[in-house]
Amino acid sequence: MHVEGLLRAKGDAVVVIASRATVGELVDRLAQHRVGALVVSDDGRHVDGIVSERDVVAALAEHGTALLERTVADIMTTEVVTCVPSTTVDQLMSLMTERRMRHVPVVVDGNLTGIVSIGDVVKDRIRDLEVEAQTLHEYIAHGR
């Protein structure tokens, strides 16, 4: 399976936020969309950064509630690891494990075209294992 297949299953919608938005707005948007990270993009196409709930928690520990008035640009990660539709799920799993991140934006020709999370990867893995188990059951039961 490739990233392309994951996007076909889950859709290509990406919730983005502008770098000048406040952390308070960021928290609202994370809660509203029930996601763990937002891509930071000022024009909606180019990836300027990524910001996850982990960044909010770390910055909250450092700055306290005054953090809510600061901007997304203050806490976002600017060196974003991205993938392409032809990236395999195995490559994605290695990337997420080695870099300790759970979200990877999909970029084609410099444009944001989707995002995949560790949840999408796990879901795909479980589906594969279910198909494999079903095939083995049928083989054992019917010899085919």
Task: Kindly give, in sequence order, each residue whose CB lies less than 8 Å from that of residue 59, ignoring residues fewer than 6 positions away.
Answer: 23, 67, 70, 74, 75
What token pair was written down for 23? 């952390």
How many residues at the interface with ligand AMP, by CB under 6 A? 14
Q: In what order do the strands lie in the sheet with 16-17?
A: 16-17, 37-40, 49-52
Task: Evaluate the CA torsion angle 80, 102, 104, 49 in order and state its sign.
Answer: negative
Asked if 103 touches ligand AMP (CB under 6 A), the answer is: yes
C-beta of 98 vs 141, nearer to ligand AMP: 98
Site for ligand AMP in 76-95 (CB under 6 A): 77, 80-81
Instruction: Give the three-state DSSP class for 112.
Output: strand
Candidate segments 13-21, 46-54, 65-73, 126-134, binder of ligand AMP by CB under 6 A:
46-54
x/- track of binding to ligand AMP for residues 2-31 (CB under 6 A):
------------------------------
Residue in 29, 54, 123, 125 binding ligand AMP, rule: CB under 6 A: 54
